[in-house]
Chains A and B, each alone.
Chain A
C-alpha cells in the first residue's frame, strides 16, 4: 500500500469505473456501520411522543436529554452502571499487572522450565473444559453472586500475554544489562524499565481488556442471580426481552417524578434505545483515539501469532 500510492500514472476509463464503484461500495458499507448508532442517538434525544409515532427517522426533533437523566432513576440501573464501570476499571488494572508481569517473566531465559510454563498458559486459549464444568468450578470456588468472579479469572489473559512477551523480547537486552549493573531486581526492572518502555503495547492491551470487560454479558447470565451484580449489558438484555419488567420500572420512575411532560416521559422503546446508547457511548468516545495503538498491537501480534 505504501508503495502503490507513489506510482503516478494515467488513469484509464476502466480505472475510473473501478474507482467509482469502489468508493460507492465502501461508502455504503460504512453507512451501515454508522447509521444504526446515529438512529439510536437521534431517537433518544427527540421528543418521545414523536418517537412513538415513528416520525424520527433522519433528524432529531424536540431535542431534550431527559431520557438519560430518567434512566438512571430506574430501579437498579444506576447500580448496574457502577458494576460495569467497577469491573472495567478494576479488571483492566489487574489484567494489566498480572498479564504483563507474567509476560515479562516468560521473556527471561532463566525462568525455570520457561517453555513448559508458557505452553501451560497458551493451551488455555484453545482448550477448555466446557461451560458446565466451568460453571461448577466457579460455584465450588464460591464465585456465584460474587463481584470477584468478574475480575479474578481474567487476571492472566493468554492472548495479551503473547503480545506483551513478543514486545518485551524486542527491547534491546543491553538496557536490562545496564539495569543489572546498577543492582536492580526483577520487580524494579519490571516497574521502572520494562513498563515505561512498553507504553504502546500496554495501551493496546488496556483497550482489549476494557472493551472485553465492558461488553461481557454471559458471565452475568451464568453466575449472577442477585440483581446487585447485574452489569449494564445484562440489564440491556433483560429490557430487550422482558417488557413487563420494563413497564414496572417505568411506573416506579414515573411515580418518583411529580411533573408529567409527555414529550420527555420515558417509553419502553426509549429505555431500550437509551440504555443502548449508555452502553455504547464510552466505546465511541475512547475508541477513535486509541485505534492506531491497537492496529500496531495487532500487527506486532500478527508477526508472531
Chain B
C-alpha cells in the first residue's frame, strides 16, 4: 500500500531529473530531442562567456540576491511583531489582531495583485480616489507601473502577506518561555523593557537562527509567482528574479536548453547552500536543520 505512494514521489519529483539532458542538446521546440544536436557544455559556457547572456544573468542575480537579502534583513519583523502582540494584555484584542493579520497569508499572489490594483491603480485605486476626492491631487498617480523602488514595493507586499503567519512560530516559542524567569526578574526590579531584552528576546533567538539558516538554503529560491504577476514593461528589468528568468527564457522564449542549464545550476547551488546552512547549524548549535 505504501509502494504506489513512493512511486508517485519518484515519478513527480525524481523523474524530472531526466529533463536535465536537454541542457546538453541544442533543442528546438517541436522536434524530437535526439534528432537535435548534442552540444555538450555549450549552454553552460554561454552563461559565463556570451556577452548578452552574462549581462542578463548578472542583472537577474542582482535582483534575486538583492530581494532575498532584503527579505532576510526584514525577517526580524515577525519576531518583533510577536513580541509587540504579546505585550497586549487584552486577550480578545490580541486574538482578533492575530486572526486578521494572518488572512493575507492565505490568499494567492494573483489576489494580492488584484488587491494592489484595487488600492493603488490610477483609475480605481482607493488611494488615488482619496487623493482626488479631497482635492489633494488632480489626477491619480500610477503606483503600479512605476519602475522605481520595485525591490522595496515587492518587499512591502511580501511583508504584508507573510508577517502574521511568520509571527505564529514566535508566538508558539513565546509560550515555551518559563514564566518563573519573569517573576524572578520582577523581584530583581526589572521593568518590561529589561524583561523583553534579557528574557523574551534571548528566548526567541534560537527559533530566529533556525529560520535564518534555512533562508540561506533558499537564497536563490524566491519563486516566480509574485514577480510574475507584478511584472510589467516598466519594472521588468529590476523585478526579474532567477526563477522568472528561467520561465521567460524557457516557457516564453522556447529556449528550453539554455533555460534548463540555468535552472540546473540554480538547483545545484541551492543544494550546496543548504548543506552550507546545515554545516553552520551543526557548528553553532550542535544540531542539523534538515
Task: List chain B residues, Cβ under 8 A from A156.
Answer: 5, 8-9
Interface residue from B9, B13, B114, B130 paired with A128 (Cβ < 8 Å): B13
Q: Distance (Å) between the CB of A109 and the closest chain B CB? A: 14
Q: Distance (Å) between the CB of A58 and the closest chain B CB? A: 9
Task: Please tell me if the beta carbons of A26 and B85 are within 8 angstroms of each other in the complex.
Answer: yes
Task: List chain B residues, Cβ under 8 A from A152.
Answer: 8, 12
- Say whether A171 faces chain B, with CB atoms less than 8 Å apart: no
- Say whether B6 faces chain A, with CB atoms less than 8 Å apart: yes
Interface residue from A1, A51, A141, A221 paired with B174 (Cβ < 8 Å): A1
Which of A29, A101, A221 has the most CB atoms of chain B within a 10 A radius of its CB?
A29
Task: List chain B residues, Cβ under 8 A from A302.
Answer: 169, 172-173, 207
Q: Distance (Å) between the CB of B239 and the closest chain A CB? A: 15
Task: List chain B residues, Cβ under 8 A from A5.
Answer: 89, 91
Chain A 34-49 against B: per-residue CB contact (8 Å), 1 yes, 0 no? 1111011001000000
Task: List chain A residues, Cβ under 8 A from B93.
Answer: 23
Interface size class of B (residues with CB under 8 A): 35 or more
Q: Distance (Å) between the CB of B142 and the closest chain A CB? A: 15
Interface residue from A2, A54, A102, A132 paired with B260 (Cβ < 8 Å): A132
- Say whether A263 faces chain B, with CB atoms less than 8 Å apart: no
- Say whether B36 faces chain A, with CB atoms less than 8 Å apart: no
List 13 interface pairs A-B (beta carbons < 8 Å), by A numbering. A14-B193, A15-B191, A26-B85, A30-B101, A37-B103, A120-B6, A122-B290, A129-B17, A133-B19, A215-B106, A237-B229, A269-B123, A283-B103
Q: Distance (Å) between the CB of B247 and the closest chain A CB? A: 6
A143 to B162, CA, bound (A): 32
Interface residue from A25, A43, A51, A129 paired with B16 (Cβ < 8 Å): A129
- Say whether B148 faces chain A, with CB atoms less than 8 Å apart: no
Closest to A111 in B: B2
Task: Please tell me if the beta carbons of B13 and A124 are within 8 angstroms of each other in the complex.
Answer: yes
Q: Distance (Å) between the CB of A98 and the closest chain B CB? A: 5
A288 to B98, CA, bound (A): 10
Closest to B173 in A: A302
Task: Please tell me if the beta carbons of B114 and A240 are within 8 angstroms of each other in the complex.
Answer: yes
Chain A residues engaging chain B, CB cutoff 8 angstroms: 1-7, 9, 12, 14-15, 18-19, 22-23, 25-27, 29-30, 32-37, 39-40, 43, 51, 54-55, 57, 98, 101-102, 105, 111, 117, 120-122, 124, 126-137, 141, 152-153, 155-156, 186-187, 211, 214-218, 221-222, 233-234, 236-237, 240, 269, 272-273, 275-276, 279-280, 283-284, 287-288, 291, 295, 298-299, 302
- Say whether B263 faces chain A, with CB atoms less than 8 Å apart: yes
Instruction: Given contacts A132-B250, A276-B115, list 14 more A-B pairs with CB under 8 A.
Output: A7-B183, A15-B191, A18-B193, A29-B163, A30-B96, A33-B101, A117-B2, A132-B22, A133-B18, A133-B22, A137-B18, A186-B1, A217-B108, A236-B114
Task: Please tell me if the beta carbons of A217 and B247 are within 8 angstroms of each other in the complex.
Answer: no
Known contacts A54-B124, A283-B106: A7-B186 contact under CB 8 Å: yes
Chain B residues engaging chain A, CB cutoff 8 angstroms: 1-2, 5-6, 8-9, 11-20, 22, 81, 84-89, 91, 93, 96-97, 99-104, 106-111, 113-115, 117-119, 123-124, 126, 129-130, 132-133, 160, 163-164, 168-169, 171-175, 177-180, 182-183, 186, 191-193, 207, 217, 224-225, 228-229, 243, 246-247, 250-251, 256, 259-260, 263-264, 266-267, 270-271, 274, 290
Task: Please tell me if the beta carbons of B2 and A105 are within 8 angstroms of each other in the complex.
Answer: yes
Known contacts A9-B186, A240-B114: A133-B103 contact under CB 8 Å: no
Closest to A34 in B: B100
Task: List chain B residues, Cβ under 8 A from A279.
Answer: 107-108, 110-111
A19 to B83, CA, bound (A): 12
Task: Please tell me if the beta carbons of B106 and A211 are within 8 angstroms of each other in the complex.
Answer: yes
Interface residue from B88, B113, B271, B290 paired with A22 (Cβ < 8 Å): B88
Task: Please tell me if the beta carbons of B130 and A57 are within 8 angstroms of each other in the complex.
Answer: yes
* 9 closest Cβ pairs, A-B complex: A3-B179, A133-B19, A130-B263, A215-B108, A129-B16, A124-B13, A299-B172, A137-B16, A133-B16
A39 to B117, CA, bound (A): 12
Q: Distance (Å) between the CB of B157 and the closest chain A CB? A: 11
Task: Please tell me if the beta carbons of B251 and A1 are within 8 angstroms of each other in the complex.
Answer: no
A284 to B99, CA, bound (A): 11
Task: List chain B residues, Cβ under 8 A from A102.
Answer: 2, 5-6
Task: List chain A residues, Cβ under 8 A from B229.
Answer: 237, 240
Closest to B90 in A: A23
Task: Please tell me if the beta carbons of A4 and B86 are within 8 angstroms of each other in the complex.
Answer: yes
Known contacts A130-B246, A130-B260: A272-B117 contact under CB 8 Å: yes
